Amino acid sequence: MFDYHIHTAFSFDADTPPAGMLDAAERAGLREICFTDHVDMDGSGFPPADLAALSRAVCALQGGAVRVRFGAEVSLADEACAQRSLARLSGLEPDFIIGSVHLLEGRDPYEDKSLFDAPKGEIYRRYLENIDRAIRTGFPFSVLGHFDYIAKCAVYSDRSFALSDAPELFDRIFDFLVEQGKGIEINTASWREDAAWGLDILRRYRERGGQFVTVGSDAHAPERVGRRIEEAIALARAAGIPYLATFERMRPILHRL
């Protein structure tokens, strides 16, 4: 019913205007979506979205069958990145912000496959160490985005991400998020065409006090909007997560699962 991770033509890596993505959401039977175009001030070199223009587009699309929210996906890295990102959002009033880590030790795993020259467990652990540092740099995000982004980019025959890859790091990350009142995202794009994973990770998040998740397709094209969202919600329910969240003006609206 919700898709809280959708990119539009305001992102450097998407081509479809917001109205086209909204049409796709209507066809998918969704009730509410959030546009979350990229703000990557992490040194990747990708141009940040024109969020002011996106905000105006969202306002123009209100009143239809699908509620539309204004958000952003902000790359997390270090304190300097956090300050640059805050400056980029100055004067805007987003409903929701995904905080994501897109680089591994300053390199982009989507583009640089040489990063995967070590065993999966080692690479995934190093990525989680990046997350653990990046979430503590002061940027006010709503949820941690795709904690398994590294798996989305990976070239291993078995890309699945498991709690056993780094249980103590997951605990550190989840404890901080819960303490700060933040949630995590279940991002269906990371699975690609493989079987869904993450039940063990979501159960651990719940054990550490996690109360809510958001679900997102990470769609960059209309045919991906709403993809595998029902599987994501089923995972959250199976893990005992009490709530699915939507957001308004950075405040979570909790929907009991």
pLDDT tens digit sequence for 152-161? 999 999 999 9
Taken as a whole, the chain contains a residue count of 257
- pLDDT attached to residue 40: 96
pLDDT band at 213 (very low <50, low <70, confident <90, very high): very high
Number of folded domains that form the chain = 1
Q: Which residues, including other chains, have CB under 8 Å from residue 246's CB and lie 6 or more apart? A: 2, 4, 32, 34, 69, 96, 214, 252, 253, 255
Of 227, 226, 225, the residue nearest 14 (C-alpha): 225
Q: Give me the phi and psi of 7, to 5 degrees please.
A: -105, 150
Residue labelled with tokens 């141009």? 47
Q: pLDDT tens digit string along 37-83?
A: 999 999 998 999 999 999 999 999 999 999 999 999 999 999 999 99
- pLDDT attached to residue 38: 97
Q: Give me the phi and psi of 179, to 5 degrees please.
A: -60, -35
- pLDDT attached to residue 165: 93
Of 125, 100, 116, the residue nearest 46 (C-alpha): 100
Which secondary-structure segment (H or E) carries 126?
helix 120-134
- pLDDT attached to residue 59: 96
pLDDT band at 21 (very low <50, low <70, confident <90, very high): very high
Residues 96/69, Cβ–Cβ less than 8 Å: yes
Q: 0.75 cut: is pTM over it?
A: yes
Query: What average pLDDT does the chain have?
Result: 97
Strands (DSSP E) along the chain, which ranges?
A: 2-6, 32-39, 67-75, 96-100, 143-144, 183-187, 212-216, 243-248, 251-256
Residues 89/72, Cβ–Cβ less than 8 Å: yes
- Helices 199-207 and 167-179 cross at an angle (nearest 10°) of 50
DSSP code per residue over 43-76: SS-PPPP-HHHHHHHHHHTTTSSSEEEEEEEEE-
CA dist list (Å): 23 to 2, 19, 51, 56? 14, 6, 20, 17
Q: Which residues, including other chains, have CB under 8 Å from residue 42's CB and lie 6 or more apart? A: 75, 76, 77, 81, 102, 103
Q: pLDDT tens digit string along 146-202?
A: 999 999 999 999 999 999 999 999 999 999 999 999 999 999 999 999 999 999 999
Beta strands 67-75 and 2-6, pairing class: unpaired
pLDDT band at 241 (very low <50, low <70, confident <90, very high): very high
- pLDDT attached to residue 54: 97
pLDDT band at 98 (very low <50, low <70, confident <90, very high): very high
Report d(CA 43, CA 207) in Å as an integer: 35
- pLDDT attached to residue 160: 97
List the domain range (segments joined by +) for residue 219.
Answer: 2-256
Tell me, what CATH number does 94's domain have?
3.20.20.140
Of 51, 46, 36, 32, the residue nearest 6 (C-alpha): 36
* b (16+ CB within 10 A) / e for 132-150: bebbebebebbbbbbbbbb
